[in-house]
Amino acid sequence: MAYKITDACVACGTCQSECPADAISEGDIYVINPEVCVDCGTCADVCPTGAIIQE
């Protein structure tokens, strides 16, 4: 089950730099590619706003 970035994202980039699978891309808010996500939860652990949830 992949993770998802919600509207609470402030586009700080912390999650992208910590993702070991390079599954996160930049946009208005960041987006996780579920095809690449390895469900490790690192992004959710480092998100300062709690914007990343398990889908």
Q: Summarize pLDDT for 3-31 with one digit per residue, the tens.
A: 999 999 999 999 999 999 999 999 889 99
Domains of the chain are 3-54 (3.30.70.20)
Q: For residues 52 and 6, is the Cβ–Cβ distance under 8 A?
A: yes
> What pLDDT score was predicted for residue 1?
72
> What pLDDT score was predicted for residue 26?
93
Write out the DSSP string of 22-47: --EE-SSS-EE-TTT-----HHHHH-
Alpha carbon distance 46, 9 (integer Å): 12
Q: How would residue 44 be classed by pLDDT, with cut points 50, 70 and 90?
A: very high
> What pLDDT score was predicted for residue 39?
95
- For the residues 22-46, what does the mean pLDDT come to? 95
Q: What is the pTM of this model?
A: 0.89
